[in-house]
Structure 1
Amino acid sequence: MHLALRALDVDTRQRFETNFDMNEVPTFDNLMVFVQKQCHIKEISQGTGQPPQVSVQRKPATPHQPSSSSYGFRSARNTLVSTAQPTPASASCPLCKENHKLFQCSSFQAADPTKRYELVKSHKKCFNCLGNHMLSECKSRSRCSKCSSPTHHTLLHFVKPHAAVLAASPVPASSDDDVNILTCHTREKSTVLLATAQARIQDASGSFQPIRLLIDPGSEISCISSSAVQQLGLKVSSSRIHISGIGNNHTLQSKGSVICKLLPSLASSVEVATEAVILSKISSDLPSVSLPAGVREQYSSICLADSDFHKSGKIDFLLGADLYPHILVTKGPTIIQGEPVAINTIFGWVLMGKVPVPSSSEIKTSLFVHTESADPLDALMKRFWEVEEVSTQKFENPEDKTCEEFYQDTTVREPNGRYCVSLPFKEEPPAVGSTRDIALRRFLSLESRLHKQPQLFDEYKKFIDEYRELGHLSLATYPSPFIIPHHCVYKNDKLRVVFDSSVKDNNGISLNESLMIGPKLQSDIPDIILSMRFHRVALCADVKMMFRGISLNSDHRKYQHIFWRDSPNAPLQELELNTVTYGFSSSPYLAQRTMRQLVEDEGKSFPLASHAVLHETYVDDITSGAADVKTALVLRDELIALLGKAQLSLRKWASSHPEILSDLPTDHVQSAIGFGGEDGGALKVLGLEWRPNQDVFTYTITPPVIDSQHTKRSILSTIARLFDPVGWLSPTTFFAKCIIQRTWLAGLDWSAPLPEEIAADWNNFLNQIVSLSEISIPRFCHITPSSKYSILGFCDGSEKGYAAVLYLRSASSENDIHISLLKAKSRVAPLKSATIPRLELLAALLLSRLLVSIQGVVQKLNVKNVFLFSDSTVLHGIRYMVDR
């Protein structure tokens, strides 16, 4: 580095060093970029004339003599390089008064040659070298790089308007000159030049490699070609995004995403970063046709972002609207009108727009890109299939033991009883980088959205103010490199703020990827629902602000910073979240484990509440009950007292008996409950509708839109919303799953319309699905101390699929018999054809798994008899094989 600095003249070296702070050490790459830029400027300003003569003097250095560099380098010899024409001490620009020469002025460069000529003339500058003397006194040997004239500077070269046009479109000799020009312009074909730029992109080793990119503000995302990702060795993250173009008639599936850092080719002070989606190919080679030489000459005097804009070449990166506002230069000239138009960016001037050409290409490139995240549908389908699956085995993750040990070693209890936990990182400290840039961009985008919707802004500000007033949020005492982006979801007149801890940092790693998730501690939803049905008096409540009721270790709060301000005119604030935050992958475990820790510490005094917390709680929903009202009141009071020991409280109380709620504060009770003949409406309990007044489970189905343009995607979206954790709607969901299977057999694309036959069956299904609103399932299964219980199971198979169902038979001492539907599941037949006997066996297997899944119920009720029925004789064959 110091050897290279010694090779520069004093003036150039000083300009280089002024680009950096005193405590910042530049790299060799910084120096090379600077030198390349200076060479480019020299080329523009001096043309192709004789280069200045250089004289070199060498002298031995005295002991301990420092070099002229300010970075602490020492050398045994110094090299002094000076040009034949010394640089003036002052380089103040006469146009903008900034500290640079006239030919370096962006305002001067942006002007057309005629305007530049007038500026030079008015400031009495030399037309050849732009110096402070007249042309007749100029001693410079520089020549115009366009025509080699010694009488004007390259920036003052005029392009004759006729030449390029006539060369592109010759006309008969008998035509008048003026008419010829007009004819050429009116009949001449044209093309549209898309904005391209040369940049540098960071590879896996941290070095920057050249890349050619296309700038498209019509794209919602930035994209990178798969070949570029492979060459750069970037780490690929999964990304399920559907990409569509104009007309939404073609959809692409992304191949993942990568974190990309871009630098301009001729500067290193500006860096932009984003998460780019990987595609097989960005576009065809651009430009699609050869451009006339006149276009290149027109903009030869300004620093172009793509010096090879006229050469057809490969595009490996699409810079979309996520980065476009951040690459525009806002100071000085921003646009030069013409054909094409020049726009000033951090990469240099990019050219785009209509360009006259001798012939136009039949292939036109349009790059409007719209994205639709597949995550919402994926999440719905994941939940649908998880609910449909019968879980009979529990698998342990070796990491869970480490996570549990970490919790026990780091969790403390504050004097007021509140618990304080730490983030369970996989390694300490976590290997996370910076997210400040992307968090700031997303906040500014959120701020713009909020101030276009005043009501939404007021709700958001109210949320932040409440967070701060409760002590869950405070002003950060120091900046953190990791900032959490946040946004809101506004649904049914209710605001929900989402903290995105899955955002990738500048190293391509998210905070969630650095955290241990922890073991699953809550009971399964079907088990909690069945347990609720065995209590004569049911009650449920919600732990208020469960996550925010648990403090976070102050050393880990630096990973929970956010940006906020009450007004765009106010200073940007960096705030710190002081409690467990939803959106973190470890938060559910930390909250549930803290509830269990509370039972360990205080549970002996509250036996009924302890059982409910351990076995009848799903995240923050407690769903329990008792055999009578008196015991239910004791349970309610124990729950309030137990959670109060940890400064937690219960809200949204509901019960099948009004006495449980009678002495609770009004704002602690679900508002929808009504007794005494009132139909209080339905409450959501673990995703199901429960009507406490009638003590039944019901379904409310919104009438769907009947449309002949349904697609496989829309069918999946509708079916995934049928939440049926215990299988009471199995006949309905089975028909829906058969429709899905038929779309797969038909080989339909995700966005392709359904064939007429499938569409007719699907619309018929939608017409009848509203009938589910007429169904009600009694909550209570008539459990009494004197009753005897039996489990009855049935299974069957057919060419379309197979199913299984379980019932509970209770018989009281007065021989009062009740049959209650417990659980059911159905499956469609495999795509590969299977015999009926095999499908019957699969049905029997499904029934046996259903029985295993309710073993806890069987033991709790002390069930004496279990009867499983199948009408298939294939079971005799199995028994015969076992006997042999």
Structure 2
Amino acid sequence: MKELKNSFITEELAQKLDIKSTGFITLKISAFGDKNSEVHNLEKATVQLETQTGEKIPMEVIIIPTIAAPIFNRARVNIRELSYLKGLKLAHPVSSDEQFHISMLIGADYYWSIVGDRIIRGNGPTAVESKVGYLISGPIHSSGKQHSGMFHILADHKVEEVDLEKFWKIESMGIDDHKDGHYVAKIPWKENYPCLPTNYEIVKRRTENVIQRLAKDPKMLKLYSEIIQDQANKGFIEKVEDPENSGNRVHYIPHHPVKKDSTTTPIRIVYGCSCKDKTGHVSLNDCIEPYSPMMNDITSILTRFRLNKFAVTADIEKAFLQIELHQKDRDSTRFLWLSDPASFQSEETALKFYKESRTLLAAGGFNLRSWSSNSEMLQNLSKAEKTADEDSVVKVLGMKRNPQEDTLQYAKNDTGQKKDRVTTKREVLRETSKVFDPLGLLSPISVKAKIFMQELWKDNLKWDEKLPKSMQTTWREISSEIYDALDIRINRNNSSSIDCSCDSLHVFSDASQQAYGACVYLLSKNKITLLMAKNRVPPIKQITLPRLELMGALIGARLGKHVKEITGVNKIYFWCDSEIVFHWIISQKTANRFVANRVNEIREISESSTWQYCPTFCNPADYLTRGIALKKFKEDALWWNRPEWLMEPQKWPVWDGPTKAILCSTSTEEESDTSHQTKIQDTVDIKTESIQSILKLEDKSSLMKLARAEEKSKTF
């Protein structure tokens, strides 16, 4: 049987001794004979155990409501009658009470530090010497009525054995119904986290600074105060009546205003839970258990948002403030002071969603407001009920939407527009990361920034080193194009509805020495819509072009699987312009590890029969590998809704199978794991650099293209 490795104290005794909590611990606790265990998040504390000699032994104990049910006192008479125990000072004095309660239980973590060497045996229980008196254990003979009792605790705090995901959802997050219809949550404290300082002084200084800044704009200061007062009136926050006396941990957090482009909430209050009062101290965030947020993937939501005719967005009024914080955790969040989009096929369905969702969320204390839709019926209803969004452009998961035009727009920033800013590698990365394009629809423009960043790495430039003038000029051109591209408006929906049995997805992939990627199109009722695109730059270490094309095909397979799961469209085709990659996918020959690993994953995701050949000139994924001029990009039909022949299967390109030259090139690639040459250089001995430059061999996807280029050069 596993020994008890923890010591416990009851809440009642802890309160009597005025013990302060020192943190939390996660335990699995099971009772004797019970196959199941329960996970609990319990407070810890330190107590001083005073010995007979006056020594004080510090013990870490776990505070628990009840250790055990009352135990029958069989020692109240018999012990006094045993001669070999007379005169011993017992750790638990004999009393005449019929029952007694266990208020503190010392486990194996401290038991052997208090037990001595002397043992006294006799015709009855055994006495074991300890620093707090003799401990009595063993049978007691009695002729009267027998009472039997058993007490057993099995506690285990090995984190790896705990289903933490289930625990955080059910226990630590403590989501429980409150009496007024709201929910209550506990802070998921880390196990054995360091002592959390109060932060009072630094928070006081920061709050004073915030007030001084706000005072420069009296209207903003007034609005900030009104927000705090409104939160107090609605019960979201509460005044601390007695700041000096609290039985819980106390911690202050600073706050500051952030302006918002919104009519309902022009500013919002942001709390700094990462604030530290001194170097080496911890913040509130440092003491909270990190875990993955339970949120839907943004690309999935945005893609589904574009699939149906009618779109609806709404906002839960003060969503997070509607969830109450547990009473014991509130003192840890003290401070000082003077939308899920959806789309529907019919207006009737949208109206039904409006009514049902508002009713459902209202039951939990949430007010679903700021409704916006291209459905005139829903918009009129929300206006009548004063729940409509008054903004002409609304936010949708980091993007913007114009309900009247039913278009999606990008959030615009000052990317690369400040001419006095020093251009460094750090600045390029910072500006590039500002572009929020979750669906990758602007990738043919933004890929230029990725390629440029790769060049900076190849040149071994330091983070804050000023770029050479030529590079500064190049970056200004790239950043200017990206900035202008953010003005592009994208049709949210190009089809009335999706027919999963008839519609199809088409994934195109490609690669160059600079980048590789893939894009996905939806073919529905003779309409072609670009849904999503992703691209990457290759490692700095050179990789052959065929292998990069294989990596592009793998990105395409993964992306196709992702979009298939989002849309529910089962029919999917993969298009690639590399004949070598085609051969790898359909070939049964064992390839080297690099090729085999990627080909195996592609085959697991897709059937080889779903792969089709697409000539380079009509492969939209080509733009993902090199980029395209902004002027052409805005109106480019191939990128936004082509190639047209997709709508006529009889006109689809047909691959005749690998030629001898392709087989030769493929074989050479498969035999080497370390080749740094392109497939052309593996199969053709061309030593003249000028000829290579003229023919641009690194851009060729097959020997067939080279053969055609060579034939033209001979003719010339």
The TM-score, its normalising length taken from structure 1, stands at 0.44
Q: Cα–Cα, structure 1 residues 743 and 865, in superposed 2: closer, same or farther, change >3 Å?
A: closer
Counterpart secondary structure, 1:661? helix
Q: Match for 1:827: what amino acid?
A: R
Q: CA deviation at 1:543?
A: 0.8
Q: Cα–Cα, structure 1 residues 437 and 699, in superposed 2: closer, same or farther, change >3 Å?
A: closer
Gaps of 5+ in 2: 1-160, 592-716
Q: CA deviation at 1:564?
A: 1.9
Q: Cα–Cα, structure 1 residues 426 and 533, in superposed 2: closer, same or farther, change >3 Å?
A: same
1:698 corresponds in structure 2 to 409
Q: Cα–Cα, structure 1 residues 695 and 501, in superposed 2: closer, same or farther, change >3 Å?
A: same
Residues 362-416 of structure 1 deviation map (CA, whole Å, 9 limit, x = unaligned): xxxxxxxxxxxxxxxxxxxxxxxxxxxxxxxxxx9964333123157x4332233
Residues 47-85 of structure 1 deviation map (CA, whole Å, 9 limit, x = unaligned): xxxxxxxxxxxxxxxxxxxxxxxxxxxxxxxxxxxxxxx
Q: CA deviation at 1:734?
A: 0.6
Q: Say yes or no: does 1:689 pair with 2:407.
A: no
2:518 corresponds in structure 1 to 804
Conserved 8 A contact 1:808-1:820: yes
2:357 to 639, 650, 660: 639
Q: Match for 1:445: what amino acid?
A: N
2:237 corresponds in structure 1 to 473
1:790 to 504, 521, 530: 504
Q: Cα–Cα, structure 1 residues 732 and 397, in superposed 2: closer, same or farther, change >3 Å?
A: farther
Residues 573-604 of structure 1 deviation map (CA, whole Å, 9 limit, x = unaligned): xxxxxxxxxxxxxxxxxxxxxxxxxxxxxxxx
Conserved 8 A contact 1:706-1:766: no
Q: Cα–Cα, structure 1 residues 719 and 404, in superposed 2: closer, same or farther, change >3 Å?
A: same
Q: Say yes or no: does 1:454 pair with 2:218.
A: yes
2:316 corresponds in structure 1 to 543
Conserved 8 A contact 1:488-1:498: yes
The 1-side partners of 2:277 and 2:230 are apart by 29
> Whose radius of gyration is greater, 1 or 2?
1
Counterpart secondary structure, 2:198? coil
1:417 corresponds in structure 2 to 181
1:672 to 377, 391, 394: 391
Q: Match for 1:622: what amino acid?
A: D
Q: Cα–Cα, structure 1 residues 881 and 429, in superposed 2: closer, same or farther, change >3 Å?
A: closer
Q: Cα–Cα, structure 1 residues 535 and 502, in superposed 2: closer, same or farther, change >3 Å?
A: same
Q: How do 1:570-649 residues align onto structure 2 when only pairs under 5 Å count? A: 621-649=339-367
The 1-side partners of 2:418 and 2:216 are apart by 34
The 2-side partners of 1:492 and 1:672 are apart by 9
1:464 corresponds in structure 2 to 228
Q: CA deviation at 1:633?
A: 0.5
Larger CA deviation: 819-828 vs 507-516: 507-516
The 1-side partners of 2:235 and 2:411 are apart by 40
Gaps of 5+ in 1: 1-395, 566-620, 674-681, 812-816
1:496 corresponds in structure 2 to 268
Q: Cα–Cα, structure 1 residues 455 and 657, in superposed 2: closer, same or farther, change >3 Å?
A: same
Percent sequence identity over matched residues? Answer: 29
Q: Say yes or no: does 1:484 pair with 2:253.
A: yes
Q: Match for 1:641: what amino acid?
A: T
Q: Match for 2:323: what amino acid?
A: I
Counterpart secondary structure, 2:184? strand
The 1-side partners of 2:273 and 2:500 are apart by 53
Residues 330-366 of structure 1 deviation map (CA, whole Å, 9 limit, x = unaligned): xxxxxxxxxxxxxxxxxxxxxxxxxxxxxxxxxxxxx
The 2-side partners of 1:552 and 1:661 are apart by 35
Q: CA deviation at 1:840?
A: 1.0
1:821 to 530, 545, 548: 530
1:880 to 581, 587, 593: 587
Q: CA deviation at 1:686?
A: 0.9
The 1-side partners of 2:500 and 2:213 are apart by 63
Q: How do 1:266-665 residues align onto structure 2 when only pairs under 5 Å count? A: 399-407=164-172, 410-427=174-191, 431-479=195-243, 481-490=250-259, 494-504=266-276, 508-565=281-338, 621-665=339-383
1:857 corresponds in structure 2 to 566
Q: Say yes or no: does 1:752 pair with 2:470.
A: no
The 2-side partners of 1:456 and 1:698 are apart by 29
Q: Cα–Cα, structure 1 residues 774 and 453, in superposed 2: closer, same or farther, change >3 Å?
A: closer
2:475 corresponds in structure 1 to 762
The 1-side partners of 2:237 and 2:544 are apart by 62
Q: Cα–Cα, structure 1 residues 413 and 537, in superposed 2: closer, same or farther, change >3 Å?
A: same
Q: Cα–Cα, structure 1 residues 411 and 770, in superposed 2: closer, same or farther, change >3 Å?
A: closer
Q: Cα–Cα, structure 1 residues 700 and 865, in superposed 2: closer, same or farther, change >3 Å?
A: closer
Q: Cα–Cα, structure 1 residues 790 and 437, in superposed 2: closer, same or farther, change >3 Å?
A: same
The 1-side partners of 2:194 and 2:452 are apart by 47
Conserved 8 A contact 1:403-1:516: no
Q: Match for 2:348: what amino acid?
A: K
Q: CA deviation at 1:855?
A: 3.5
Q: How do 1:217-236 residues align onto structure 2 when only pairs under 5 Å count? A: none
Conserved 8 A contact 1:844-1:870: no
Q: CA deviation at 1:821?
A: 0.6
Counterpart secondary structure, 1:833? coil
Q: Match for 1:433: what amino acid?
A: P
The 2-side partners of 1:411 and 1:786 are apart by 38
The 2-side partners of 1:484 and 1:738 are apart by 42
Q: Match for 1:838: what amino acid?
A: R
Q: CA deviation at 1:773?
A: 5.2
Q: CA deviation at 1:435?
A: 1.6
Q: Match for 2:284: what amino acid?
A: L
The 1-side partners of 2:468 and 2:199 are apart by 47
Q: Cα–Cα, structure 1 residues 426 and 786, in superposed 2: closer, same or farther, change >3 Å?
A: closer
Larger CA deviation: 772-781 vs 623-632: 772-781
Residues 168-220 of structure 1 deviation map (CA, whole Å, 9 limit, x = unaligned): xxxxxxxxxxxxxxxxxxxxxxxxxxxxxxxxxxxxxxxxxxxxxxxxxxxxx
The 1-side partners of 2:276 and 2:406 are apart by 47
Q: How do 1:12-27 residues align onto structure 2 when only pairs under 5 Å count? A: none
The 2-side partners of 1:645 and 1:760 are apart by 58
Q: Cα–Cα, structure 1 residues 767 and 554, in superposed 2: closer, same or farther, change >3 Å?
A: closer
Counterpart secondary structure, 1:663? helix
Q: Say yes or no: does 1:738 pair with 2:451.
A: yes
Q: Cα–Cα, structure 1 residues 430 and 742, in superposed 2: closer, same or farther, change >3 Å?
A: closer
Q: Cα–Cα, structure 1 residues 537 and 405, in superposed 2: closer, same or farther, change >3 Å?
A: same
Counterpart secondary structure, 2:295? coil
Conserved 8 A contact 1:397-1:519: no
Residues 508-558 of structure 1 deviation map (CA, whole Å, 9 limit, x = unaligned): 122222222444322111000111122221101011100111112212211
Q: CA deviation at 1:865?
A: 3.9
Q: Cα–Cα, structure 1 residues 822 and 397, in superposed 2: closer, same or farther, change >3 Å?
A: farther
Residues 446-475 of structure 1 deviation map (CA, whole Å, 9 limit, x = unaligned): 334344543442232222222222222222
The 1-side partners of 2:181 and 2:467 are apart by 59
Residues 706-748 of structure 1 deviation map (CA, whole Å, 9 limit, x = unaligned): 6384222332222112111011011111101111112222333
C-alpha RMSD over aligned residues: 2.8
The 2-side partners of 1:495 and 1:401 are apart by 36
1:197 corresponds in structure 2 to none
Number of aligned residue pairs:
418
